[in-house]
Structure 1
Amino acid sequence: MHIRIIAIGKLKDPWMKEGTGDLLSRLRPYTRLTITEISEEKCSSEGEKRRAIEREGALLLTASKNPALLIALDPAGRKMPSEAFADLIREREIAGTGDLVFLIGGPDGLSDEVRERSDLLLSLSEMTFPHTFARLLLLEQIYRAFRIIRGEPYHR
């Protein structure tokens, strides 16, 4: 199984890059995981924001290349405990049906088209985080899921 994360924006903070790198190295024994960064659309006015979100959405969907399962991170999405998330990944791993793709929008969120085309909208928390931080949280949950799947200890 190949897990792909496609995210709007580039990581800038050294600590976030370090955390992401650490989790990617921890995940290597479990799965092939790649991250694709798409440049954030700049908008100078409130009126341009909707068009920027739509352009970012089109880029996210183009980069996803028709995966077996498309999951978009969205604050209004389904909340799921780590064990249920692990079950979702386990089912995909057993099915062996192709890529599992996670989409992370920019600071202004996802386009309606991304929400409609996604197989699942997933919320990482009811709290608000910067969109770049969502990548680190998602990687931690993917790592935790593989530890759960393999019956290996993890921090609670």
Structure 2
Amino acid sequence: MNIKIVCVGKLKEKYLKAGIAEYAKRLQKFGKFEVIEVPDEKAPEQLSQAQMDQVMEKEGERILSKIKDREYVYALAILGKERSSEELAAEIDQLALHGKSDITFIIGGSLGLDPAVLKRANAEISFGRFTLPHQLMRLVLTEQIYRAFMINEGSPYHK
């Protein structure tokens, strides 16, 4: 199984890096796990809709350049489908059973994801209607991916 997170921007906070590194280390026993950061597009605070669209398009192109055709893609989106940890685990298990062993999760930039990225995604996933910093979302997502593998393994970690 190859799991990848493609995200916009650099992670600066040491405590988040440490948490992600811990789960990444734990995930190694299940296959390859990697986080790929693409640069965020520099933009002024106040943007017109056209400027926002342009920023999202440029970030979207960078994201899409990191995705191969064979990958099953989950885009994180507030309006995506909410899943329980058990439901995500079952989906990952089913994907593996159907020969889809390359799974990619996408976390967009502060403005969200370009429509082209959402179109490429096989599924949209939501972690609820909370607004979370994108950097924190990386840690939450990494933990949930680990939790999914532990559920599928029948481990007591999940309880």
Listed as ranges, the matches of 1:32-71 within 5 Å are 32-44=32-44, 45-47=46-48, 48-71=51-74
* Identical columns (%): 35
Letter in 2 for 1:96: G
1:152 pairs with 133, 152, 155, which one? 155
Give 1:133's aligned amino acid.
L
Matched, 1:3 2:3: yes
What's the TM-score, normalizing by structure 2? 0.93
Matches within 5 A, 1:7-156: 7-44=7-44, 45-47=46-48, 48-156=51-159
- Take 1:68 and 1:14, find their aligned partners in 2: how far apart are those partners? 30
Q: 1:11 to 1:113 in 2, by over 3 A?
A: same
Unaligned 5+ runs, structure 2: none
| 1:91-119 Cα shifts (integer Å, max 9, x gaps) | 12222334111111001100111112211
Distance 2:149 2:101 in 1: 17
- Does the 8 Å CA contact 2:72/2:104 hold for their aligned counterparts? yes
Residue 155 of structure 1: how far off its partner (Å): 4.3
Which segments of structure 1 move beyond 3 Å, counting only runs of 4 or more?
Answer: none
In structure 2, distance between residues paired with 1:4 and 1:66? 14
Q: In structure 1, how many angstroms separate the alpha carbons of the residues matched to 2:64 and 2:25?
A: 27
Deviates more, 1:119-128 or 1:12-21: 119-128
Q: Secondary structure at the match of 1:91?
A: helix
Give 1:61 shift.
1.1
Q: Distance in 1 between matches of 2:10 and 2:139?
A: 12
Distance apart, 1:35 and its partner CA: 0.9
Query: Structure 1 residue 125: deviation in Å?
Result: 2.2
Moved more, 84-93 or 62-71: 62-71
Question: What count of residue pairs does the alignment treat as equivalent?
Answer: 156
Mapped contact 1:7–1:35 kept (Cα < 8 A): yes
Matches of 1:95 and 1:32, distance apart in 2: 18
CA displacement at 1:141 relative to structure 2: 0.5
Are 2:150 and 2:158, in contact at CA under 8 Å, matched by a contact in 1? no
Task: Determine helix, strand or coil for the equivalent of 2:95.
Answer: helix
The separation in 2 between residues aligned to 1:152 and 1:69, in whole angstroms, is 25
Cα deviation for residue 134 of structure 1 reads 1.2
Tell me, yes or no, if the aligned pair for 1:78 and 1:121 is still in contact at 8 Å: yes
Instruction: Choose 6-15 or 125-134, whichever is displaced more.
Output: 125-134
